Amino acid sequence: MKIIEYLSRLDRRIIYLVLATVVMVPLVIPTVPRVRVMTPVEKLFNAVEAIPNDQILMLDFDYDPQTLPEIEPMGVAMLRHAFHRRTKVAVLSLYVQPLGLAKKALDQVTEEFNSRATSYEDSIIYGRDYVFLGWQPPPIVPLLGMGISIVDVYQRDYYGYRTDSLPMMQRVKNFNDVGILVSLSGATAPLWWIAYSQTRFGVAVGAGITAVSASEFYQYYQTGQFSGLMIGMKGAAEYEEMVQSRLSITSRRKASEALGSLTAAHLTMIAFIVVGNIGYFIRKRKEKGVQR
């Protein structure tokens, strides 16, 4: 009994230490567990798979450093998927802060593909296979403006090139040329694409979001407004699993590697809550006994 009582009054520094240890150990010795792919992620994968040759994948990178570990693997996995099937990609951000992270993901995946490429045709070329549109404030401008003309909204890309001079943009006019727009966000950006762009122009929208904000998005997924969803680290790992199992791309899977930490952290927190509750009930029983 004394042990339980002691455990139910643990010093917070011990909690911090235990949590830090269980999170760090699986990161030091990473393993990739087998992940069961749930329907929302499978639907998103299939939606990207179904993009016709004359349409593009539009990726909205709207996460910041705070949510990077959860969302970045989604972006990387989606870029790998698109580049593998030679779907052209347009990348943008509704805010300024994610631009550096979008560039990092783009650089990483293009480097991966180009290091394996054997010819110019095989390579992933800027302007031909993908464009980085950058940032245009305020968000309402791209959300609605791209329904009319993408090059009018983004007259210059992130690097300062005129977008109408890029080969890929010669046949990409507006949302009619976008197979699906996937918003990767730590906040509510995917809902804006639904509220403004989809409602008015009918563009298909998918989302990659943090686990903590997932409950906000399910209602739009259930109505079919989101073509698919990736939720948190697990969602990213599921997409990585599909990219590997269906497309045989065997690059590093950061979200899958982090699942060990996630599992340990969840189980530790559950254990702490259970111990805390046991202590609570023991104290309650004792207090009742004293009252009697």
Partner 1 sequence: MKRRFPLLLVFFFGLLGIIPYFVPHGGYQDFDNALRNDFIRILSAFAIILGLVSLLRVHQDKIKRKRENWQYSYVLIIGFVVSGAIGLFGGIEGELFLPTKIAGFQFDIQTLYLNIIVPLGATMFALLAFFMASASYRAFRARSLESSLLLSAAFIIMIGVLPLADSISSHLPSFAQWIMDIPNVAAKRGITFGIALGGIATSLKIILGIERSWLGGKE
Residues lying near partner 1 in the complex (CB under 8 A)? 10, 12, 15-16, 19-20, 23, 33-36, 38-39, 64-69, 97, 100-101, 103-104, 136-138, 140-141, 144-145, 148-149, 152-153, 158-159, 200, 211, 214-216, 218-219, 222, 231-232, 234, 237, 259, 262-263, 265-270, 272-273, 275-277, 280
Q: Closest CB to partner 1 among 113 and 154? A: 154
Give whichever of 84 and 265 is closer to partner 1, judged by the CB atom. Answer: 265
Question: Distance (Å, rounded) from C-alpha 202 to C-alpha 94?
Answer: 19
Min CB(19)–partner 1 separation in Å: 5
With contact defined as beta carbons under 8 Å apart, do 226 and 203 qualify? no
* Smallest gap from residue 85 Cβ to partner 1 (A): 27
Please report how close the Cβ of residue 60 comes to partner 1 at its closest, in angstroms: 18
- Residue placing its CB nearer to partner 1 in the complex, 49 or 64: 64
Give the integer Cα–Cα distance in Å for 216 and 231. 11
Instruction: Please say which residue, 84 or 263, places its beta carbon nearer to partner 1.
Output: 263
Phi first, then psi: give them for residue 5, nearest 5 degrees.
-65, -40
CB of 283 to partner 1, least distance (A): 11
Nearest approach, Cβ of residue 118 and partner 1 (Å): 27
Closest distance between partner 1 and the C-beta of residue 52, in Å?
Answer: 26
The C-alpha angle with vertex 193 and arms to 187 and 196, in degrees rounded to 5, equals 125
How many whole angstroms separate alpha carbon 82 and alpha carbon 56?
9
CB of 181 to partner 1, least distance (A): 18
| 42, containing H or E segment | helix 39-49
Residue 2 burial (C-beta neighbours within 10 Å; 0-12, 13-18, 19+): exposed
DSSP string, 53-95: TTSEEEEEEE--GGGHHHHHHHHHHHHHHHHHTT--EEEEESS
In the complex with partner 1, the residue whose CB is nearer, 100 or 167, is 100
Nearer to partner 1, 84 or 272 (CB): 272
**Residue with Cβ nearer partner 1 (174 or 251):** 174
- As a whole number of angstroms, the distance between CA 25 and CA 263 comes to 12
**What interhelical angle do 254-291 and 12-28 show, nearest 10?**
160
